[in-house]
Structure 1
């Protein structure tokens, strides 16, 4: 849902519509998906290298600690699957294509916004660890959030413009004006608070002398995600606006609506302006849109209080699911993608920054998803939207997966499958199955025997299983530098909670500042994107099987900027002995991870892997070409041209001139830094041509498995 442009309109007139509020000591309903989206992008965390989940984790922890310091009681609500009526399908398809476009733009050095694939996993896992009350809705969450806020008479924290339409007595707090990172103290009471901006429908409508019941008509006419009425949206509403008013369409429509006492009267008058052939369809669409904003008691309050599955029609077709599955869904312990699998036999895969000339990185994990589909849909399991349809073990059942081909949204029918041990299993009794049966389903899917698994520490099992599956199935095949980089990232994550001094002593990696743009190696990005998809699907399968292996902390397993830098260091000839301190706890953990991987895939497999140094040699050839055939002055001119070309591309995005100049300056500094680095390398190469460093001749993999 959401009305595009409404947030900008209201916030541009905040003297009238938003008031300051020293917020503390209250309940707060939080739109969880909006929160993690805003935090990740507002704090400029990594997107192009697959995400920095440890930094994201620190943000989330600090956010809820600050709420607690101000005696604010948070209740987080997450979106679930798509609406069971499929009325939003066109909008979903548009947004998926937009995300593919954004991922492609980032992959070629342009701007875009793409959430890394495991952000939601990290968020849900962390909230359970922090004991923050959490519910994952079975469908879109906006209406349930509003209904709960009305029932509890407390405000909503979100950035969704629909909360400017819902008539909530306690109002709405836009996240962009919620200064959670600047906790203040009231000098009179010595109590802490968070400065916020507060919106209420009552005050907004009073400024137009309009009934609050007419706001849903306003939203439906302009068109939200569910109601698209181009022929009435484009009527000349501007003629009703006040002179000199910005956003004249919004202002004019609100003034026009203010003359009517009730929504029915406004709709009736509007239809008189429409071609009679279209009136029936438009009237039906408008009233459906208006109904979206009518609030009655929802089911969230009952679940937050008692953890009981609500006995209500609000869960609709999903009532056919086993209670244990519904409980895990509502608690946010199982991915909401299984709702789309059950309701629509359709899944939207997440687009990532990768090599768009290669097949979508999610394809590597497809066999894992096929087993998940088999558990959900096979063996006489009724589908939620077609309760009379059943699938036997021999039936052919497919799920439509939406991914990409190059930069275009495509779909493909994927068959649900079952491993040998799955024969006879049913979803409704899956939780009763013996642990060894549940474990064997997971091991068969990932291609590992139970004997091999017994040699690995339980805390490391899932991440090692996923890594081995990735090594065997990824295309193109990962090299040794990709494997060592991934394992070193896990080591770093395991010690990231220690002090900075201790971390630096044990793991000698000098990370580049997050504000500086690192070169993107698309092959490395593609491979690590494949690994993240494998992890995401394996987590879902493990949870669906009642966690036969322990679930690792996702935020500790991958740090994009670090693993990409490690790969670069290894390719430049840096040895593992330089990155790991001899005898340290980090070295011991690295050896454990390495030995576990080798025990599963075999020493011959590892020995036959490419080293990854071929890429380094290609880069060296390219550098030699530029140093011999292009002067530094010519290269400087070329970089200057690119700088101004990039700035020109941003003209349409910047509304504030000063801000645009500031961004241009930052970009100029980035190019200057890159140019200075290149000049330094050029001079160093010329200086050392006669006396080459022996250190640079050292092989990256002289630190072998036998040495460790």
Structure 2
């Protein structure tokens, strides 16, 4: 995105005046659209107030020095990541502004925001970013509660915006000492990060041992979703999500036949066979993805899992752990609709016993 924007800015820079730039932009539009777009562009330029922020350095050198971040007295690693545009807006806003805006998504507006399912995860993120250093002397529980920082969240409440003050989570004793203040957060060991992540999700590592490594986090997030989602997850919704994850594995294999991820001691069909199987299975999957999903209020839980995954991606980013991007909303919705009327859709991977085995492994794991 940055390169496309940089290319657009470079192209616009050749024009001496904004009027000339607008006229050249309009040449690329259909004739019947030009007057309307010209009016919109001119109105926007009149309303625009130039900022004192100079983004030229960012687009030319890949860095932008933020004065607000300097004044906030954040650690060097935060300043560096911020200057390079590598920090999620959610993290920046929580860390510097102590407030964050939770994006509105497509969901049933009469129900609570799907972001509510991920509230405990966000509280842990706030606890990591904003926690107060502990004194050597043990503080009383009431004093500890008072010291916990608060973040202002803006979220949807039906069709309006609601402001809520959310208290950061009190981290477990393993993370409450001064070994890992914010400036040393990146020095946490991998095992420590993993422990915090799984503790946040309420899943033990022993539970995930039978799952392929790269699918352990998605499975842990799915378990969290089942436990915290409101309304509660239906079996068809769970199966649709897991079928989508397995289809992602087929995509991975189809794109790179030499990379096969399976449980321990599990041998795959030949590369040629699995590629042929993938091409056959992808036909109904592509049809499902290209079809417009009918909106069903019962699908809200599927929306919630996407945002639980988003919040986990941020926590995962803080913890420097790899997270596969597995969620394809259109496919999940269509699979859910098909499963309600045609249970045999669950046999989507019948041509591949090993993919079926992987699906059953995931299903048994999250149901146990």
Structure 2 length normalisation: TM-score?
Answer: 0.74
Of structures 1 and 2, the one scoring higher in RCO (CA 8 A, sep 6+) is: 2
1:178 alignment partner in structure 2:
none
1:501 Cα deviation from its structure 2 partner: 5.6
Pick which of 343-352 and 315-324 moved more.
315-324
Of 328, 352, 355, 1:586 maps to: 355
2:111 alignment partner in structure 1:
358
1:406 alignment partner in structure 2:
158
Cα pair distance change 1:76/1:426, threshold 3 Å: farther
2:209 alignment partner in structure 1:
454
Gaps of 5+ in 2: 23-37, 135-142, 256-274
1:532 Cα deviation from its structure 2 partner: 0.8
Of 510, 520, 523, 2:295 maps to: 520
Structure 1 residue 397 and structure 2 residue 149: aligned?
Answer: yes
Cα pair distance change 1:405/1:492, threshold 3 Å: same
2:12 alignment partner in structure 1:
172
* Superimposed CA distance per residue, residues 360-389 of structure 1 (whole angstroms, 9 cap, x where no aligned partner): 0010001000000011111249xxxxxxxx
Which aligned pairs between 1:645-684 and structure 2 lie closer than 5 A? none
RMSD: 3.6
* Kept in 2: contact 1:506–1:585 (CA 8 A): no
Aligned equivalents of 1:432, 1:409: Cα separation in 2: 38
1:551 alignment partner in structure 2:
323
Secondary structure, in 3 states, of the residue corresponding to 1:496? helix
Which aligned pairs between 1:24-103 and structure 2 lie closer than 5 A? 32=2, 75=3
* Count of residue pairs the alignment pairs up: 320
1:430 alignment partner in structure 2:
185
Structure 1 residue 298 and structure 2 residue 57: aligned?
Answer: yes
Aligned equivalents of 2:207, 2:169: Cα separation in 1: 24
Secondary structure, in 3 states, of the residue corresponding to 1:430? helix
Aligned equivalents of 2:130, 2:161: Cα separation in 1: 25
1:491 alignment partner in structure 2:
246
Aligned equivalents of 1:378, 1:470: Cα separation in 2: 26
Structure number with bigger Rg: 1
2:195 alignment partner in structure 1:
440
Secondary structure, in 3 states, of the residue corresponding to 1:318? helix
2:337 alignment partner in structure 1:
568
* Superimposed CA distance per residue, residues 624-669 of structure 1 (whole angstroms, 9 cap, x where no aligned partner): xxxxxxxxxxxxxxxxxxxxxxxxxxxxxxxxxxxxxxxxxxxxxx
Which aligned pairs between 1:255-404 and structure 2 lie closer than 5 A? 289=49, 292=51, 298-299=57-58, 301-302=60-61, 304=62, 314-319=65-70, 320-380=73-133, 395-404=147-156
Aligned equivalents of 1:428, 1:392: Cα separation in 2: 21
Aligned equivalents of 1:409, 1:441: Cα separation in 2: 32
* Kept in 2: contact 1:397–1:415 (CA 8 A): yes
* Kept in 2: contact 1:393–1:423 (CA 8 A): no
Of 408, 419, 443, 2:171 maps to: 419
Secondary structure, in 3 states, of the residue corresponding to 1:201? coil
* Kept in 2: contact 1:347–1:401 (CA 8 A): yes
1:294 Cα deviation from its structure 2 partner: 8.8
Secondary structure, in 3 states, of the residue corresponding to 1:589? helix
Aligned equivalents of 1:481, 1:540: Cα separation in 2: 28
